[in-house]
Amino acid sequence: MPSANAANRLMKHYLGTARTLPWRAAPGTNAPDPYRVWLSEVMLQQTTVTTVTPRFNRFIERWPTIEDLAAASDKSILSEWAGLGYYARARNLIACAREIAARGSLPNTAEELRKLPGVGEYTSAAVAAIAFGERVLPVDTNIRRVAARLFAMEQPTDSQVRDVMTPLIPTDRAGDFAQALMDLGATICRPAKPLCSRCPLAPDCTAFALGQPELFPRPKARKHRPHRHGTAWWTRRGDHLWLVRRPDHGILGGMAALPGPDWTDTPHPHGPALARIRHVFTHFSLDLDLVSASEPVGDGWWHPVDDIDSAGLPTLYLKAARAALATPLFDAAA
């Protein structure tokens, strides 16, 4: 079991090594703006800090308060989100911002935060701890790995992690404790080749004492990922390309896109493809064939080809557009 001063050693280590991030406050200082904490936690779900940081800064520059974000149009927010992936997060972000603005402020407890659209166990705990100092533990991948090694747990559940780690949370530094664990997992207690000699928790770590820290946690069995097929129509007139907006619900909901039929489990019959794009989503992979079409399909708009990066296309369709523009067959489709 961790000794009584394990948390103190972690806090001291964090004081000198904390990552400087635009949504954080320095260790031991006043809590950061709750809006920044909430926005960053939504963006960081299944997305790296490196990817999120510049996008977070753009969001804050464009919408400096949650009221500004709540007043923005769906289209502008979804366009700004393009490329971050997991677009259900963006739709929940919009609904959540508007509900918070109507309430007047973010709730300050994990229990109340969980009542907001799209806010689950992790996000509610992260915001409650970091922004409001509630003594709760957000369990992300990094914290789960630290706990698994500290207590030599092979596949701990989130509940088990909270049970063993919550007693270590300092009464008045819940936010710093959570972020210290996140940083420890990201920089020292890494999945492979952990830097145990630099870890402030090494004296208390059961996996380190066993000499096999990388065995914890035991990896989960990989699930089979289905493969699907799609077609996107490339319709160009002069210097403009025909784009549409996907339905509000479902994958890539509400995002700008190239038109095309629903994705299926078998290939679509069509003519010669300008390009084929392989894209991997969380639960399936997709081959998207880009096919020339003479007439626009669906309700949409003409967008300048030379400004395609500003169209708000998600990664899948931006890759497809760039591939078409790079192929010799493109001239025949113009």
Active site residues: 41
- Where helices occur in 63-140 by DSSP H, the ranges are 66-71, 74-81, 88-103, 110-113, 121-132
Instruction: Report the DSSP pairing between strands 285-292 and 273-280.
Output: antiparallel
Question: Which residues touch 46 (CB under 8 Å, ≥6 apart)?
Answer: 85, 86, 282
Distance between CA atoms of residues 32 and 241, nearest Å: 43
Residues whose CB is less than 8 angstroms from the CB of residue 20 and which lie 6 or more positions away in sequence, other chains included: none
Q: How far is CA 304 from CA 100, 236, 322, 328, in A?
A: 36, 10, 13, 19
Output the CA–CA distances (angstroms, integers) from residue 308 to 79, 158, 184, 209, 303, in the order listed: 12, 42, 40, 55, 7
**Residue 8: enclosing H or E segment and its boundaries?**
helix 6-17
